[in-house]
Chains A and B, each alone.
Chain A
């Protein structure tokens, strides 16, 4: 048995193999302190390392801080702050840890629910020590499953490449089809593998005994993944191809396959939740961070929160829906989006929409791709606003209002008309963002012909963390087509704000690179400078690519411009620069930003000019950026200016406002990238 762990050192998924199951790290969650104490004692008696908490929220935080700190989670079903099943889902999706449910009730429905949500086991209270003595098997089983499948594929590599893929593909599809049946499928698969593979068994055993380091799906990695998936399209996104596209060393097809499964589940859920929570967002309004959070939890907004903080809250997205904006958008863009969705969604989702929506409005609606029908991300990306962001968002949302026109921004990037999924960008986007920024990807396409705001703008509400921004941009990736680093994408997203006109996201590209950078930065405040740089590059690329789109963009720009106009006043708050920028070539960006900003603003608030100081700051930032990159923008913006002017007259703002309300709940734009993935 190859022991990759080092004794005593806890690295990643160390299981202290030589002593295993002793030393297995368990996280116990139960609101009843008596049961918790008892559980703690029992587990210690089994020689596990135990951490306890009586709050699910705390548990999640701990898990997110360091995914590799625990091997197993035991959770009560009935908890006041969060439903145990929700926690179960989130842990399973985000951290890929085995979860055991615990309850005093043995109702069949509850047990079934546990199974369908992916629980490894369901124990009844009072728990007996004999049962706890065996829970380590779940950890091993999960690892082995991965190992075995991997091993198998490796063994059959050349010969059965297709088969392996097929199998994995099947697995993925299978699980995708069956929501929540991930665990079961895996188990089945596991059994199949075992049965079929007599020959390989020995090898498999060896391999599975071998401790394979668990793959940590970091933000970048996930972005990369999302980008690859988007690039391939829903239909074609099979693990092997994704793996090839991602081109990450050390990543196995198996890893990708299991991740893909989860991603699909996530997207599905987001879709569902988004639909259900349309009104929630409206209700949220304000600093309902906890809500949003929950929402995202529900929606498992974050497929894999890149940082853990970015979460696409489907709920957030759904909030958008209610206005019907989404609906409209969807109608348009659904198509466009579809194409993008997979990728876009992936991106969005992948990006952990670190909902730092706090950037408020930052959610730059990524201009929808040229497709008029900004394909709305079905999954209305729900960016989960991290608490922090939320507060931020709220503040910023205030600023949004001015950007009425930013309807386009509607954070709902849904409308990514542009199927350009900046999938690629997603990975690049949030390198550093702490995942706060909310990337609102769905640009809800304003139903109005006006180009309803190309929802493309996936507002990357980049709050603190550029990462989040990336996420946002990811959502925008649609815009960007290019897989540029997320950053560029984000910019696109920002640009997408233009979407109001449902103009092709050209602006997105333009803005994307820039916007992304800017947006992010502006939004996030912390937007990584780097992003800007990358954006710059992207900008260049985009420019070229966007020329054609320019026309379209013009429309968007118009919208943007109008937004811009609104922004201007805002801008002054920010900086002189901003104002200037806005007017100047940067306008597009600004508009974008604004648009985004509007978007993000909390519902209702945004409309009004929501540009919060945050926004402003961001804008300033962006503006500055744009300035620096004037060269880029200028070219593109010439026409934009015209458009902007035209746009000014429009009153998309209303639309946006509406959207904003719905969408912006708390500034969280749930970018339901996953829903986009519905196409999957």
Chain B
């Protein structure tokens, strides 16, 4: 695939992520923060996000698995996940966290488990998508091209 095509693919793909709400403007900000002095900023941040969020999701699952669920603890984890997902622009994950918080307030274990599922799904989704995105970028760079600065044209 030639460079131009790859770049086109990337642009389309990125756009679709925004359209579907998987990513939001915050991700764009991340990309804009990336520059020569910070060339891998986005990848670094996103990698950190995936590491931490997975840990958080496991913690939440474990907390919900207890005989007597400590909702405060669960809420704290969800809160953190919400913060970090918002910071990287993983919009759907963030929204799922907001819903999750409500279940925690109601102290409803069933509801929480459902919310957790939802969050996990979104998390998995955005992870895949971003991995694809990065792969595309890498291909372009490998082919000697440069990744165009994303723009919100929609």
Contact = CB atoms under 8 A, between A and B. Distances in A.
A236 interface: no
Size category of the binding interface on chain B: 20 to 34
Residue among B83, B84, B86 with most chain A CB within 10 A: B83
Contacts of B87: 32, 34-35, 38, 125-127
A128 B38 CA distance: 18
Given A104-B83, A126-B87, A34 B38 contact: no
Contacts of B38: 41
A105 interface: yes
B15 interface: no
B88 interface: yes
Contacts of A35: 83-84, 87
Contacts of B88: 34, 38, 126
A42 B52 contact: no
A35 B85 CA distance: 9
Contact of B82 (A38, A42, A104): A104
Contacts of B80: 31-32, 78, 104
A104 B76 CA distance: 11
Contacts of A105: 79
B96 to A, nearest CB: 14
B33 interface: yes
Contacts of A42: 33
Given A34-B45, A37-B45, A78-B76, A126 B52 contact: no
Given A34-B49, A37-B48, A38-B45, A128 B79 contact: no
A45 interface: yes
Given A34-B84, A126-B89, A41 B76 contact: no
Interface string A211-247: 0000000000000000000000000000000000000
B12 interface: no
A649 interface: no
B30 interface: yes
B44 interface: yes
B86 A126 contact: yes
B13 interface: no
A33 interface: yes
A3 interface: no
Interface in A33-50: 33-35, 37-38, 41-42, 45
B29 interface: yes
B16 to A, nearest CB: 22
B80 to A, nearest CB: 6
A626 B33 CA distance: 67
B18 interface: no
Nearest to B27: A126
Interface residues of A, number: 19
A412 B48 CA distance: 49
Nearest to B44: A37
B45 A125 contact: no
Residue among B80, B82, B87 with most chain A CB within 10 A: B87
A125 B33 contact: no
Main secondary structure of the interface of B (DSSP, over half): helix
Contacts of A34: 45, 48-49, 52, 84, 87-88
A37 B42 CA distance: 11
A251 interface: no
Given A34-B45, A41-B41, A78-B76, A125 B83 contact: yes
Nearest to A37: B45
Given A41-B41, A42-B33, A104 B48 contact: no
Nearest to A130: B29
A33 B48 contact: yes
A129 interface: yes
A33 B52 contact: yes
Interface string A120-139: 00000111110000000000
B26 interface: yes
Interface string B36-67: 00100100110011001000000000000000
Contacts of A128: 29
Given A32-B52, A78-B76, A104-B79, A38 B86 contact: no
Contacts of A45: 33
A126 B48 contact: no
A125 B86 contact: yes
Interface in B70-96: 76, 79-80, 82-84, 86-89
Nearest to B97: A104
Contacts of B86: 104, 125-126
Contacts of A33: 48, 52
Interface string A243-255: 0000000000000
B83 to A, nearest CB: 4
A388 B88 CA distance: 40
B63 to A, nearest CB: 15
Nearest to B48: A34
B91 to A, nearest CB: 10
Contacts of A37: 44-45, 48
A126 B33 contact: no
B70 to A, nearest CB: 14
A26 B6 CA distance: 41
A164 to B, nearest CB: 46
A33 B38 CA distance: 17
Contacts of A32: 52, 80, 83-84, 87
Residue among A35, A127, A128 with most chain B CB within 10 A: A35
Nearest to B76: A78
A129 B79 contact: no
Contacts of A126: 26, 29, 83, 86-89
Interface in A86-131: 103-105, 125-129
Nearest to A34: B84
B83 A38 contact: no
B148 to A, nearest CB: 20
A358 B36 CA distance: 52
A311 to B, nearest CB: 28
Contacts of B44: 37
A105 B94 CA distance: 12
A636 B130 CA distance: 82
A38 B87 CA distance: 7
A129 B84 contact: no
A430 to B, nearest CB: 40
A423 to B, nearest CB: 45
Given A37-B44, A38-B87, A126-B86, 12 more contacts: A33-B52, A34-B45, A34-B49, A34-B87, A35-B84, A38-B88, A103-B83, A104-B80, A125-B86, A125-B87, A126-B29, A126-B89
29 contacts: A31-B80, A32-B52, A32-B83, A32-B84, A32-B87, A34-B49, A34-B87, A35-B83, A35-B84, A35-B87, A37-B44, A37-B45, A38-B30, A38-B87, A41-B33, A45-B33, A78-B76, A78-B79, A104-B86, A105-B79, A125-B83, A125-B87, A126-B26, A126-B29, A126-B83, A126-B86, A126-B89, A127-B87, A129-B29
Top 6 closest pairs, chain A to chain B, by CB: A104-B83, A34-B84, A126-B87, A126-B86, A126-B26, A125-B83
